Chain A
Amino acid sequence: MKILINLAYQSLLSRKITVFLTIISLTVSIVLFLSIDTLRLGAKKSFFGNVKSGDIILGSRSGEIQLLLYSLFQIGSPTNNISWESFQEISKKPEIDWIIPISLGDSHKQFRVMGTTKEYFDRFSYRKNQKLKYQEGTYFENTFDVVIGNDVAKMLNYKLEDSIIIAHGIASQSLHDEFPFKIKGILNKTGTSIDRLVLVSLEALEAIHKDWKTGSKIPTKINSKKNYTEQDLIPKEITAAIIKLKSPITIFKIQREINDYEFEPLQAIIPGIVLTKLWQVVSVTENIMLSISAMVIVSALIGLIAILYSTLNNRRKEMALLRIVGASPKTIFSLLLIEALIISFLSIIIAILFSQFLNLILFPILDQKFGIYLENKFLLLKDLYFFVIILFTSVFVSIFPALQAYKNSINDGI
């Protein structure tokens, strides 16, 4: 056995260029498959990672996917807000464990501003029930304090106590420059959309919009912020609310009650369900990509058989010699399988190293450019399964040229 491996190895070594090219094509296809798979799982994870927090999302009536996107991922804009009174009314339902209002609309540089309450920070959970933690500082104490997500701090180079100005609307030139905010907290990296948020209190949002009417500043005298009483700062509207129920059994009941709410057109969605619907749309592309990379692997394996076949004729004398010195046709057969095994084993090793290297380069780019945050886990169990499958398949397909060699060697001697 050791002798066969040695022979196979040296024989491969003597055919460096073809063998090298075969290994490259197999490696590239494995890396492609691995990367697409990692990307797919990573996207899914960052997608579903935000859903852990609530059972129901309350918003104004619009598309359910739209509501999901702006409330959980801060993608797109709400068409309508819901009134504070309705929010208050819904909150009174006894089945509700907690309900957190959120308010969107403004921005800072390229980042969204979200108004919410302290509870949001306590209740928000992501991934495997991880809670929000502060990298520095803490929750806002005063009205005009903000907490910023990790990416915001990193990209804009912000520190605690820095002053920032919030712009009205998204990508707008008009600034709320009479109300500078102070950074009180910077959150840890979560790999969710929170990393890209500027979080303020609902009261602060109310305060900075007091002098505004339908999108523009009223050019009267500027109020000093100190003049506002607590009563003044109760918000009139919010964008959405995240609801957690005491028992998940009541989910559909509450959803129905909200959808049937008579004083205002409200909508309740169950994020897990909507997300799954949305994911089904996305996963079509995902499956196409995965099948393409599977086909690339298949073609690389065909390449492997091709070189084994093509060398058979040249190596007839070599095989005959091995027969003469005592190798059985079975031994010749195993020799070819061992060669295939060595090729695919090397390809896998190189692919592992290469994809690790690729991850090192690509993960930060994916995070910054696309908001897909991937943790670099070395090898997952499913990767090991995948490698075992590749090994087995390559040995399996090599059975065909090996059988041919077996047949040749029955008659080939001197």
Chain B
Amino acid sequence: MSNALEINNLLFKWNNEDNFLLKINKLSIKNNNKVIMFGESGSGKSTLLNLISGILSPISGTIIIKNKKITQFTPNKKDAFRANNIGVIFQQFNILDYISPLQNILLPCFFTNFKKKNKKYFYDRAFELAHKLGLNKNILLQTNSNKLSVGQKQRVAILRSVINKPFLILADEPTSALDNKNKENFLDLLMTICETEKVTLLMVSHDTSLKKYFNSFINLEKISHSK
């Protein structure tokens, strides 16, 4: 089994200041694995995810996703690669209130190849996946997304991360604001989707009780030499 993600000798500082340093010599995640990474608040979890997604660039080191050295890409190519290959679930989900739930789900398609001929394909896919997660058409077609319940929001967030058939899903503490019932629900749904869609998952959290849902776990503080 080959690696979905591979990080070598990564070094990152914010604006070259010395108050925070992220240094990872070696990290790899196997294809179709579901991995959780633990780390205290401020340990650099979000920073690492932003490096993997190509929003931030490291000072040195390589990040390889799907056998592509994304650290060598131009900014434009990074944006395109991210849009096509990486799905992201935000802390508190980050659903745009002013567009419909359906538009929220399809947002990653808008910035990629959302052409006439595959438009219908993605609409159908959105409705189908949503149906699987128990969201019916009426909910998806509401004009705004501000009336969604927490449960509905987390489903929309999962669907958005997966709609573009990504290779890798990154999730940044998506459960941190959820009660236990919602937390379990969310993880069940996420795992199901990752199974059926055959996506690799990297989730970061400080909640070690979530270990049981994943194939393996990494402790960021152990692999990183941050200070």
A contacts, CB < 8 Å to B: 3, 7, 10-11, 13-14, 317-318, 320-329, 331, 411-414
Residues of chain A contacted by B108 (CB below 8 angstroms): 325-326
**Docked CA distance A320–B79 (Å):** 12
Cβ of B7 within 8 Å of any chain A Cβ, yes or no, is no
CA distance A324 to B164 in the complex (A): 13
Q: Which residue of B lies closest to A10 (CB)?
A: B98
Cβ contacts B58-98/A at 8 Å (1 or 0 each)? 00000000000000000110011011100010110010111
Which one of B19-27, B49-57, B133-141, B210-218 contacts A?
B49-57
Contacts A318-B96, A324-B55, A325-B83 given; indicate if A414 touches B112 (C-beta within 8 A).
Answer: no
Is the Cβ of B107 less than 8 Å from the Cβ of A413? no
Cβ-defined contact, B111 with A325, below 8 A: yes
Is A327 within 8 A of B79, CB to CB?
Answer: yes
Are B99 and A10 closer than 8 Å at their CB atoms?
yes
Please determine whether B55 and A328 come into contact, CB atoms closer than 8 angstroms.
no
12 pairs from A and B in contact (CB 8 Å cutoff): A3-B114, A7-B99, A14-B98, A317-B94, A323-B79, A326-B79, A326-B108, A326-B111, A328-B75, A328-B79, A413-B53, A414-B46
Q: How far is the CB of A400 from chain B (nearest CB, A)?
A: 22
Contacts of B98 in A (CB 8 A): 10-11, 13-14
Whether B156 is near chain A, meaning CB under 8 Å from some CB there, is no
CA distance in complex: A7, B104 (Å): 11
Q: Does the CB pair A324–B80 fall under 8 Å? A: no
Interface check B10, CB cutoff 8 A: no
Q: Please indicate the chain B residues that have their CB under 8 angstroms from the CB of A317 in the complex.
A: 90, 94
Q: Which chain B residues in 108-167 approach chain A with CB under 8 Å?
A: 108, 110-112, 114, 144, 160
Across the interface, B96 reaches (CB within 8 A) one of A321, A324, A329, namely A321
Number of A-B contacts (CB under 8 A): 71
* Residues of B in contact with A (beta carbons under 8 Å apart): 46, 49-50, 53, 55-56, 75-76, 79-80, 82-84, 88, 90-91, 94, 96-99, 107-108, 110-112, 114, 144, 160, 170, 172
B88 touches which one: A318, A324, A412 (CB < 8 A)? A324
Task: List residues of chain A with CB within 8 A of the CB of B112.
Answer: 326
A10 to B107, CA, bound (A): 14
In the complex, chain A residues whose CB is within 8 Å of the CB of B99: 7, 10
Question: Which residues of chain A have C-beta atoms less than 8 A from B53's C-beta?
Answer: 324, 413-414
What's the minimum C-beta distance from A405 to chain B, rounded to whole angstroms?
A: 15
Cross-chain contact of B56 among A7, A13, A413 (Cβ < 8 A): A413
B49 CB contacts on chain A under 8 angstroms: 413-414
In chain A, what residue has the closest Cβ to B49? A414
Question: Which residues from chain A contact B96 at a C-beta distance below 8 Å?
Answer: 318, 321
**Distance in angstroms between the alpha carbons of A414 and B55 in the assembled complex:** 9
Task: Please give me the residue from chain B that is nearest to A324 by CB atom.
Answer: B88
Q: A14-B97, A317-B94 are in contact. Are A3 and B56 (CB under 8 A)?
A: no
Ranked nearest first, the 3 interchain pairs of A and B with the lowest CB-CB distance are A326-B83, A14-B98, A326-B111
Given known contacts A324-B90, A326-B112, A414-B53, what 4 new A-B pairs fall within 8 Å (CB)? A3-B110, A326-B111, A412-B55, A413-B50
Q: Quick one: given A11-B98, A317-B94, A413-B53, are A325 and B110 in contact (CB under 8 Å)?
A: yes
Q: Is the CB of B80 within 8 A of A326?
A: yes
Report how far A411 CA is from B13 CA in the complex, Å: 12
Cβ–Cβ < 8 Å partners of A13 in chain B:
98
Contacts of A413 in B (CB 8 A): 46, 49-50, 53, 55-56
